[in-house]
Every structure is written in C-alpha cells, then in structure tokens.
Amino acid sequence: VLIPLLGLGLAVYFYSGPGNFSEEMLRGKRVIVTGASSGIGEQMAYHLARMGAHVLLTARTEAKLQKVVDKCLDLGAASARYVSGSMESTAFAEEVVKEAEITWGGLDMLILNHIGHSFFDFFNGDVDHVRKLMETNFLSYVAMTVSALPMLKESEGSIVVVSSISGKVASPFTAPYSATKFALEGFFSSLRHEFIIENVNVSITLCILGYINTENAVRTVSHVIKGAPAPKEECALEIIRSGALRQRELHYPASIVTPTVLLRDFAPDFLDGLVRSNLRSAKKLWI
C-alpha cells in the first residue's frame, strides 16, 4: 500500500512542470518524430497534428508513413511530410535533420522514439546484434542531436528522448535492449549538465515508460507481463506535454514506474527478486 502511495506522491512531483500545459504551446512548432509509422510515435504524430504543429516523420516503412502523414493533414497539421530510411545508419539520422533544415530553416522539438528489433530471451552471445542495436537505439539518437543542436539552440527548443523502465532497472531477457536504454540516460544526463554550464537553453526530457499497449510490445511480452498495458494514446500525449513543459523526466504510468525506480535505489535485491519471480512464473506459461 505504501509503495503505490509514495509513487503517486512522487508522480505529482514529476508531472508538475514549471508551468501549465496548453495545446497552444505546440501550434506552429516544427517537430521531428522518429519511429512515427506505428505505436507511440504514430500517436504522437496525431496529437501534434491536432495541435497544429509542423511534423516531419520518419521510420523505415514508406507506405505506413504515407498513411500517417495523410491522417496528420486531415487532423489539422500545419504541414506534414516524411523521410523513410533506417536509423542503423548515422548518415540517415543526419539526413532527416537536414531535411528539417531545408524545409523549415529551423527546428523546435526533436522527439527521439524509434527502436530496432530485439528479442525477449536469454542473451545468446550475439555481439553483432548488440552493436547493431546500439547503432539504432543509441548512436542515431546522438547523431540526430548533434546535427539538430544548432537549430535547437537558435529556437531554444527541446529534445525528448523516449526511454524505458528497462533503462533504469534491468530485467532478464532484455540485455541488449536494456544496454541501449541505459546508454541514453548516461549520455543525455551528461549533456544536460553541459547545457546548463554553457547556458544553452535547450531542454532534455527523458521519458521512462512502463508497459504500453502498442502492437509490437503486446506481441512480444503479453505472455510474460501480468498487468494490463497503459494506453498508447495517453502515453503519447504525456510525452509531448513533458517535452513542452521542459520537464527533466517523465514517468508513465507513474504509479508503476516511480515506485520501481525508488525500489531500485532503496531495496535493489528485493526488487530484483520481484522481477525474477514474476518472469519465472511467466516462463512456466511459456513452456
């Protein structure tokens, strides 16, 4: 009982940004969303469109991106376009930012959200898979940030990094994925310090997500995770809101993520035991 209560208290702390959110804050803003062909990224594109933002969307599958762009235009986006390609290559990551520069001549918000495919299983020693996933889930985030920084400095804009509870608390069967998400926290938290030291007025928001009901996540872990997933539509809105309010960190859903993160620091062995026993019972179902 105490843990959820503590979680809720802290959730209020994490949610309350330095002002009130209004959808007007996004009107006319120039926003890049990666991983926007499905899942949370797609939902973020729709919210931003409804709020009247300019959106530049990216992922690999052109046909899906075209549909998302069409719907964004129907919903009232100031403009909507896409660039398709794979974030396994940092050259493509830079190309997306270049496209924003050519089209808009500036950028207000960079939402880094895509992930490459990973397995939910024992780590099989495949070092190449870890390298590839680091390139897609981490290095491309760094490359896009570096390319976008001059425009973001100019607009005093925002970087929003979509991470996971797996980037705060490790669990079995996710070693490569978890590594990429921990890397994001280290890199962007260090960068945040440097921005403050150098008076760079660009915010960095790290989004720590629990289980969300995207098609891919449900397909991969629904047989292992007992609780119901949180809705992707609300999750997408919370990410945009936390970025617009320049919050340091978002916990969503807060009632689960915040207590878990607290337990990691105060009772790590207890938390690890909980994580393993949950998965052990799930593995019986699996077999």
**E strands, 85-151, where?**
109-112
| Nearest-approach distance from CB 136 to ligand NDP, in angstroms | 5
- Residue closer to ligand NDP by CB (options 10, 44) is 44
- Residue closer to ligand NDP by CB (options 214, 247) is 214
The residues binding ligand NDP (CB under 6 A) are 35-41, 59-61, 64, 86-88, 113-116, 136, 162, 164, 209, 211-212, 214, 216-217
- Residue closer to ligand NDP by CB (options 40, 179) is 40
| Nearest-approach distance from CB 286 to ligand NDP, in angstroms | 18
Tally of CB atoms within 10 A around 228 = 9
What is the C-alpha separation between 9 and 3, in angstroms, rounded? 10
Catalytic residue among 15, 46, 82, 177: 177
Contact 67, 36 (CB under 8 A): no
Q: Which residue number has the CB closest to ligand NDP? A: 39
Between the alpha carbon of residue 3 and those of residues 65, 167, 265, 276, the distances in Å are 41, 21, 13, 19
| Nearest-approach distance from CB 38 to ligand NDP, in angstroms | 4
Task: Using CB atoms within 10 Å of the CB of residue 35, give its burial: 0 to 12 exposed, 13 to 18 middle, 19+ buried.
Answer: buried
What is the C-alpha separation between 141 and 134, in angstroms, rounded? 10
Q: Which of 82, 105, 202 is nearest to 146 (CA)?
A: 202
- Residue closer to ligand NDP by CB (options 38, 189) is 38
Sheet holding 249-252, edge to edge: 79-84, 54-59, 30-34, 109-112, 158-164, 203-209, 249-252
| Nearest-approach distance from CB 112 to ligand NDP, in angstroms | 8
Question: Is 252 a catalytic site residue?
Answer: no
Contact 202, 109 (CB under 8 A): no
| Nearest-approach distance from CB 167 to ligand NDP, in angstroms | 8
- Residue closer to ligand NDP by CB (options 96, 107) is 96
Q: Which residues participate in catalysis according to the annotation?
A: 177
